[in-house]
Amino acid sequence: MSLPLAGITILDLTHVLAGPFCSLTLADMGAKVIKVERPGMGDDTRAFPPFKDGKSAYFAAINHSKKSIALDLKNDGDRAVFERLLERSDMLLENNRPGVMDRLGYGWKAIHSAYPAMIYGSVSGFGQTGPDAKRPAYDMVVQARGGVMSITGEKGREPVRVGASIGDIVAGMYLCQGVLAALLDRTKTGQGRRIDISMLDAQVTLLEHAIALTTVTGKAPGPIGSRHPSIAPFETFHASDGLFVIACGNDVLFEKLCVLLSLPLSDSPRFATNPERVKNARLLKRLIEAVTLDNTRAYWIAKMTAAGIPTGPIQSVDQVLRDPQILARNMVVDVLDKNGRAAFTAAGNPIKMSGAEDRTTRTPAPDLDGNRGEILRWLDGT
């Protein structure tokens, strides 16, 4: 049993969410992550609510399993420590505004020249190039500008933010893919590469069907509530006691649904094929709901599941954290405190891999500068 990134050391200058989300995934796969923070404040998210015993649960959820050292990269003594860390690291991650690392003397060119095998991963709001490279961004700015908000929300109403921070998270995931590909490439070439991820770019990749619709029809889609734009029936339906989801991605599933509901619709030209069902989705929803309103969610979910029709409840987060399937997959883990007691709850590692232990607990999120002594001793080889 070994984790696939055992032996990889990551020097992580990132803060807030996109970069730390990337280094969290790398830590979950076995990498050693040294989080380098500003003295005094540290990562902004240390101040994000909610708090427990004075510590941010938000920070803990994203930064467990990492070590922290506080370094001022404008101070000569701290720079010397940072450079000793660079010598021992496989990868540098940073999410400063483009140009900041160059001014510190730690831009890609300087690092690549001094440490040719170093992978250099950057994530920023708009990327290292282009007219807006130096503008600041947060999750919501790129959700808005990148188009995802324009297709999220109820029809005819104002767009809404995706409740999860996908502006940051998806960018962090691409950074993770890029640095892993670069590590693989380095085994052949011995050379590091620079990865440049833009949060705005990452949002564009989420628009698969929306780009297709816009470019083929000439008209940009708007928000459509809980429907899928290109598949039907694929949305929420009312049962007698609340909402649930039915998702029929092909004709076979639709036929099964018609049989189950005793609604002989699949022979009608209006519903025989998916393109016709998409055209007539509102009528189709009313017809299906006419039947589903007759019984409870639990009844329909059980019956449809038995028939092999994709269905499920809309769960609140507390329900998610108790869901037997999610618990069986070890997707809710305890973040420990220094005394080995469960202190916070975090999402587990979704990358289940043969030969790699799927740990049920996580080492604590570090206090600011909390591992300085340990890290310095490691550098000294003592």
The full DSSP string for 192-218 is: --EEEEEHHHHHHGGGHHHHHHHHHHS
Residues 195-224 that bind a copy of itself (CB under 8 A): 195-198, 200-202, 204-217, 219-224
Stretch that binds a copy of itself, among 134-142, 261-269, 281-289, 365-373 (CB under 8 A): 134-142
Residues 154-193 that bind a copy of itself (CB under 8 A): 154, 157-166, 169-171, 173-174, 176-178, 180-185, 187, 191, 193
- Partnered with residue 52 across adjacent β-strands are 55
Stretch that binds a copy of itself, among 98-106, 291-299, 314-322, 369-377 (CB under 8 A): 314-322
Site membership for a copy of itself, residue 106 (CB under 8 A): no
Do 2 and 355 form a contact (C-beta atoms < 8 A)? yes
Residues 249-268 that bind a copy of itself (CB under 8 A): 249-250, 253
Do 37 and 70 form a contact (C-beta atoms < 8 A)? yes
Site membership for a copy of itself, residue 152 (CB under 8 A): yes
CB nearer a copy of itself, residue 253 or residue 375: 253
Closest residue by Cα to residue 229 from 218, 242, 251, 214: 214
Residues 23-52 that bind a copy of itself (CB under 8 A): 25, 29, 44, 47-52
Helix (H, G, I), strand (E, B) or coil at 244: strand
Structure tokens at 8: 């990889």
Residues 318-377 that bind a copy of itself (CB under 8 A): 318-321, 323-326, 328-329, 331-332, 344-348, 350-356
- Partnered with residue 234 across adjacent β-strands are 247
**String of contacts with a copy of itself for each residue 266-285, x by CB under 8 A:** -------xxx--x-------
Do 63 and 43 form a contact (C-beta atoms < 8 A)? yes
CA 59 – CA 48 distance, rounded (Å):
7
Could you say which of 78, 79, 86, 236 contacts a copy of itself (CB under 8 A)? Answer: 236
Do 184 and 117 form a contact (C-beta atoms < 8 A)? no
Enzyme catalytic residues: 228
